[in-house]
Amino acid sequence: MEMRSREEIEIGRDITPTLTPLSFSLHNSNLNTHCSACFSPLSGPFPSIPNPPFYCSPPCSAALSPLHHSSAEIHLPPSAHSSHLRAALRLLRSHRPSPSLRLAGLLSNHRILTSPQTPSLSHDDDNVSESIRLGAAAMAEAIAEQRGVPNGDAVLEEATIAFCAVLTNAVEVHDDEGRALGIAVFDPTFSWINHSCSPNACYRFILSSHSDEPELLRIAPHPQMGSGGVCVSSNEFAQEVLGYGPRLVARSIKKIKKGEEVTVAYTDILQPKAMRQWELWSKYRFVCCCKRCRALPFSYVDHALQEISIFSYDSTGSYSKFLKDMADRKLSECIDDVMSEYLSVGDPESCCDKLEKILMQGLNEQLEDVKGKSDSKFMLHPLNHHSLKAYTTLASAYKVCAGDLLSVDSEIDTNQLKAFDMSRTSAAYSLLLAGATHHLFNSESSLIASVANFWIGAGESLLFLSRSSEWSTCDILGLIVPNLNSAIKFKWSKCSLVDRIRTCIANGQINSADFENVSNEFICCVSDITQKVWGFLISDCPFLRSCKDPINFSWVMSTKSSDTMDVEVCVNKSYKTEICYTHEPENNIYICEEPTSTDDVVACLLQLGLHCLAYGGLLGSICYGPQSHMVCRVLNVLDREKNFVLYSREES
């Protein structure tokens, strides 16, 4: 099945009404902390109720408690309790499989899921099949006990179909901070939307009890497009479901033509093709054949995400694909080991040292194939997905390092200075991550949701740095901070792009042409500011000094042929911090040129942070709407900064 657009849809538009789930369940880890009916956080504890589910209010309890007791989930053994099994039992309580083996119009896919047939993945298939067999058996036992009937083949098949329908159609529900709360299954209005690694739509969850109703349904199943209805409407299902649980709205992230198929991503698309294909097969048992996956040679983005830079020390310069794949696996293992150690031990400084060593030195061992040991050196490409993961961890770990130093003794100047250095290194990695993913976004616009998060993260990190109390106690680059307020007031008043982006967000809509213009102007502006402060941000970090420009990545790619890429890495290159302003009256802006005072450094960091934050907010509003938590948070920060400037003006 597939869903197609019934009309031409601009970028950043809701394409479905608010959809209520057919079934849903919290993950086990959230049963004691969140309401089982509406997923809102609990204020608890509940001494009179020994075991979950817990509810936040009498209406929630009245709505879900009867289903909890009648769906047979209370008969599941403790070892079998999971969000997927609970959701499957609840779905089966209100719907029975049709003769076509669909449940509530949903594809169960149970014949494929329970029948491993792919030799190359036979071990993984066996594990999945065994998990389904055990889960369905536990469900069947509980159903038979609830109904008071023998546990026969008919009950087992019913349980298997329901379990597979949930595994195939459930989506992970996240809260406003991105934490996974549970799962939900929606009717075919959403569940019939197919996957693509280059999707034109995404979706958001609504967990609040009240919200504005989005626009009408703009998609229909193929080939019934334009018939005025969808396969099974959400209103028909609403009579059989609770009306509680996490609700969902699908939204366009690209301009969609009338009759064009609407697609979303079932997996993280900021991954190489092989990883996406493996995840999709492992969970859904299909091989993606979207345009991006079919591209031969690989698209630029997929090249970059998997690229290993190879420096050969022999005369032939030859290497086998086997060696390159082996290098990729070993580099991946190295990074995963460092991150696992960080999560278990909690030593952020050691994590930073080890990750930067991998980024700088690559694979520190010789590899061997049938031809013998290789003299080539294998390094992660700066845009490799492992590198992006490392940047994310480094930005976070350096921030933790800074906080730890200040918490020990914030009165010691040495600690303050070191913490300040850690904070600006964290900001540098955040900016590098945002710039790198934006570079990929230019070639693959479906990465918009990830890029939105990274630009917002960079903006918040830069604003935090510009507000650091260490500016007043540390002698940065031999300069003193005489007047922070004047620097803030100066730069805010001279740039109109942030205000224009904020207006676009507030309006709630932007067309494709205007978005492209704003994006181009944003990159020009941010590139100019970054050139003036990048040398200051990277401090004495060798790897960051090897990155010539975190915004314009033309330096990093030199395409030697249609199917190979290499990278030029210049290590330990020195940079000067050049910060001053030249007035351009026709544009009413000031351009930085050379340093005059620390005020100018702070002003540039503030301006850079505001631009990153505002643009990330614009991308977020396209993905999730202007009323989403992400966008509201961005607007609050922008308002707070502007109000601070206005207050400073009045004081001066």
Domain map (residue ranges) of the chain: 320-554+587-651
Q: Which residue has the higher pLDDT, 508 or 581?
A: 508
Beta strand extents in 73-150 (DSSP E only): none
C-alpha to C-alpha distance for 291 and 268, rounded to whole angstroms: 16
- Whole-angstrom CA distances from 575 to 6, 129, 536 are 54, 57, 8
DSSP 311: E
Alpha-carbon radius of gyration of the chain: 27
Check if the beta carbon of residue 619 is closer than 8 Å to that of residue 458: no
Mean pLDDT of 198-223: 81
Give residues with Cβ within 8 angstroms of 506, minimum separation 6: 626, 635
Greater model confidence, 58 or 121: 58
SS3 422: helix
Collapsed DSSP state (helix, strand, coil) of residue 264: strand
Q: How confident is the model at residue 468 (pLDDT cuts 50, 70, 90)?
A: confident
Please say if the pLDDT value at position 181 is more than 60. yes
Residue 292 clears pLDDT 90, i.e. is over it: yes
State residue 319's pLDDT score.
59
Give pTM, 2 decimals. Answer: 0.87
Predicted pLDDT at 368? 60
Residue 313 Cα distances to 296, 317, 318, 499, 572, angstroms: 30, 7, 10, 53, 21
Q: What is the mean pLDDT of residues 207-224?
A: 72
Share of the chain above pLDDT 70, in %: 77
Q: d(Cα 124, Cα 275) in Å, to the nearest integer?
A: 14
581-627 pLDDT tens trace:
343 444 433 344 444 467 788 888 999 999 999 999 999 999 999 98
Token pair for 467? 């507000």
Amino acid at 311: F
Contact between 302 and 271 under an 8 Å Cβ cutoff? The reply is no
pLDDT in tens, 335-391: 999 999 999 998 999 999 999 999 999 886 666 654 556 667 888 999 999 999 999
What integer best gives the mean pLDDT of the chain? 82
Q: pLDDT (tens digit, 9 = 90+) per residue, 483-507?
A: 444 444 444 445 789 999 999 998 8
Report DSSP letters for 160-200, one per residue. Answer: HHHHHHHHHH-EEEE-TTS-EEEEEE--HHHHTPEE-SS-S
| pLDDT at residue 322 in the model | 75
pLDDT at 216 over 90: no
Question: d(Cα 193, Cα 443) in Å, to the nearest integer?
Answer: 24
- Predicted confidence (pLDDT) per residue in 424-457, tens digit: 999 999 999 999 999 999 999 999 999 999 999 9
Alpha-carbon span 463 to 605, nearest angstrom: 7
Burial 591-616 (b: 16+ CB within 10 A, else e): ebeebebbbbbbbbbbbbbbbbbbbb
420 contact partners, CB below 8 Å, separation of at least 6: 402, 468, 470, 474, 476
Q: What's the sign of the alpha-carbon dihedral 514, 516, 518, 520? A: negative
φ, ψ dihedrals at 220, nearest 5°: -150, 155
H-helix or E-strand containing 533?
A: helix 512-538
Looking at residue 388, its pLDDT comes to 97
